[in-house]
Amino acid sequence: MRLVKLPHGNRTPQELDALCPVFRDRILNDLHAEVAVTQFDGELYLRLTAHAYVTADAIDRFAEQSIPTIVGWLRG
């Protein structure tokens, strides 16, 4: 498991709480990845986990392609 700290601008913890499920659904629908999005102590995190069937190439592809897309959405 890995937590990836995401930029969130000046959003309040309450705004981040409301954003988490919406953002998780967007990642699932647009990027076809099932991840957890959470906020803790005013910071926004993407929780990545992998199972035995997930290949290193798949993880690399997600990191190279999806993380920049997600950051772009947040910076809007």
Band (pLDDT 50/70/90 cuts) for residue 56 is: confident
What pLDDT, in 10s, does the model give residues 28-49? 999 999 999 999 999 999 998 8
> Domain spans of the chain?
2-75
Alpha helices by DSSP H, 1-76: 13-26, 56-61, 67-75
> pTM for the full model?
0.83
Beta bridge partners of 26: none
Q: How many CB atoms lie within 10 A of CB 48?
A: 18
Tokens 């705004």 label which residue? Answer: 15
